[in-house]
Amino acid sequence: MGLLAALIWTGAIPLPANAQAVPAVRPHAPDLPPAVLKALRQAQVPPSALSVLVMPLPEPSPSGHPALVASARLSHLPQTAANPASVMKLFTTYAGLSLLGSEHVWHNRVYADGPVRDGVLQGNLVVRGSGDPKLVLERLQDLMTQTMAAGVREVRGDIVLDRSVFDVRERSEPFDDEPLRPYNVTPDGLLLNFKAVVYKFTPDAASKLVQVRFEPPLAGLNAPTQLPASSAPCNDWRSQLKADFTQPLQVRFAGSYPERCGEREWPVAFPEPEQYAPRVIQSMWLAAGGRLSGQVRYGSRPASARLLLDALSLPLSEVIKDINKFSNNVMAQQLFLTLSSELGAPGRFEASRLRLLQWWRNAFPGQEEPVLDNGSGLSRTERSTAASLTALLQAAHASPHAQAFVNSLSQAGIDGTTARLKERHPQSPVIGNAWLKTGSLRDVVSVAGYVKGQSGQRYTLVAIVNHPNASQARPALDQLLEWTVRDQNNTARLSTATRPSTTGQRQ
């Protein structure tokens, strides 16, 4: 996040404990801004498929206490429950900050089940996962180095992987029939590098060949090291590779790679997810200079095992940046499951749903409850209203965790999922003046977050489209964001005409 954003969002305004972030509003159904309506018509999406609520953020009163905002700037079907796709991550991340704290860390522990003499462990080495959402390649390498520094360089037994902190099963069917897309990775008590293999393609103009590398190393995995380069346009370059992943350990690329693409990466979910962690650990342990007489397998930590190493994760304030800014689904689910695993029992989706809803009822009495599934938005059943998401955004801005929460959002046109806004609208006043979470599914497009108007007023904005043509309605949300930023010319005109409706229902 840049200096401008830091200056804007430093020092959130606290609300009284019993204050409602979104107060009762007067029933009225205003027209949507003309540019938004035009974009909806062009997308062949009716206004009834859109829920919107734009609310000013409260400012301090002369007494030093915040003044609650009595009316919305724009409201359209704010109480209609809709699928907000990845915007659901706002519930998971703010609940995580509230219940666990921004400095919460996960403890990845290594145990020795046997005596260690002269660097040799006579027994099993146990790696117990904690549900760490970001145990990626670099941190895995550090874990290996620290284990050897703790005195173990040879294991005369097995390496046992304990992932019992969560009780989840691999997804039986991939979401949207895309089994190799990384968003389909199932959460895991010992989630390593998102269970993905990243293939890297580097063209060499002199040889007309393309170098192929992959990481992390997986025991037994073979893939071509070179491909022919082509002069084809860099359009759908992945399909031009003619990749074959049907044999997970024998990857083939029967096509070519367009030289015009330059260097590219292709992350692919490993087709046999249960075998991913054992193969990665085996390869990395041996590559680090370790020796192993047994195998790498799943199991549980024996009570007799003694702690060798306690490796801490990144703090939650850093983890949620990947969850919200880059919309990482499996990381969101890891955090969601942690809400229940932190209570002592294995983390389960049902238990986490119950804990988050209990938190919601206590923190937002009277507000419509979200419908939860896995906490990531990668779901056909999750639901929220624009009013409930607005309540969350207003409360988060007034909380002790405001800075961490806002820092986790994509700054419009700068980074994360909204970075391409600058490509679509290079002169848009929204660039740099909105901090947003976006969402999209086959029939959903959504956006929620904070916007700074040209007048200096700050707003919360929530907009959700549920419709078969939702993907075509993205320009309507771009127009809504721009309308919200350009508040100097339209605030006065709309000040008496935009009392939000609490009764409008989608037709």
Q: Is the pLDDT of residue 29 over 70?
A: no
Structure tokens at 31: 């027209």
pLDDT one-digit tens code per residue, 457-507? 999 999 999 999 999 999 999 999 999 999 986 543 333 333 333 333 333
CA nearest 58: which of 460, 387, 482?
A: 460
Q: Specify the domain boundaries for CATH 3.50.80.20 within the chain.
A: 107-170+274-314
The type of residue at 382 is E
Q: Beta strand pairing status for 434-441 and 154-155? A: unpaired
pLDDT score recorded for residue 228 = 96
What percentage of residues in the chain have a pLDDT greater than 70?
87
How crowded is residue 485: how many other Cβ atoms within 10 Å of its Cβ? 22
pLDDT band at 182 (very low <50, low <70, confident <90, very high): confident
Phi first, then psi: what are they for 127, rounded to 5°? Answer: -105, 110
How crowded is residue 188: how many other Cβ atoms within 10 Å of its Cβ? 27
Q: Is the pLDDT of residue 270 over 60?
A: yes
CA nearest 90: which of 370, 305, 367?
A: 370
Among 29-43, 138-152, 338-352, 374-388, the minimum mean pLDDT is found in 29-43
How crowded is residue 184: how many other Cβ atoms within 10 Å of its Cβ? 20
Q: Specify the domain boundaries for CATH 3.40.710.10 within the chain.
A: 28-103+317-494
Across the range 198-211, mean pLDDT stands at 95
Across the range 304-318, mean pLDDT stands at 97
pLDDT one-digit tens code per residue, 84-117? 999 999 999 999 999 999 999 999 999 999 999 9
pLDDT one-digit tens code per residue, 117-154? 999 999 999 999 999 999 999 999 999 999 999 999 99
Q: Is 15 helix (H, G, I), strand (E, B) or coil?
A: coil
pLDDT band at 60 (very low <50, low <70, confident <90, very high): low
Q: Which CATH class is domain 28-103+317-494?
A: alpha beta
What burial class does residue 36 get, using C-beta atoms within 10 Å of its C-beta: 0-12 exposed, 13-18 middle, 19+ buried?
A: buried
pLDDT score recorded for residue 184 = 85
How crowded is residue 432: how many other Cβ atoms within 10 Å of its Cβ? 17
Average pLDDT, the chain: 89
pLDDT score recorded for residue 162 = 98
pLDDT score recorded for residue 489 = 63
pLDDT band at 71 (very low <50, low <70, confident <90, very high): confident
Among 158-167, 223-232, 396-405, 484-493, the minimum mean pLDDT is found in 484-493
Q: Which CATH class is domain 107-170+274-314?
A: alpha beta
pLDDT score recorded for residue 118 = 97
Secondary structure in 3-state letters for 374-403: CCCCCCCCCEECHHHHHHHHHHHHCCCCHH
pLDDT band at 180 (very low <50, low <70, confident <90, very high): confident
E strand or H helix at 251, and its extent?
none
Instruction: Specify whether the CB–CB gap between 86 and 94 falls below 8 A.
Output: no
C-alpha pair distances (Å), 236 with each of 11, 260, 264? 46, 12, 12
pLDDT score recorded for residue 317 = 98
Instruction: Specify whether the CB–CB gap between 188 and 169 falls below 8 A.
Output: no
pLDDT score recorded for residue 181 = 86
Q: Is the pLDDT of residue 6 over 50?
A: no
pLDDT band at 271 (very low <50, low <70, confident <90, very high): very high
DSSP assigned state of 346: P
CA nearest 384: which of 53, 12, 24, 40?
A: 53
Length of the chain counted residue by residue: 507
pLDDT band at 172 (very low <50, low <70, confident <90, very high): low
Instruction: Specify whether the CB–CB gap between 52 and 447 falls below 8 A.
Output: no
Across the range 375-402, mean pLDDT stands at 97
Given phi > 0 = left and psi -120 to 50 = alpha, else beta, which region is 22? beta
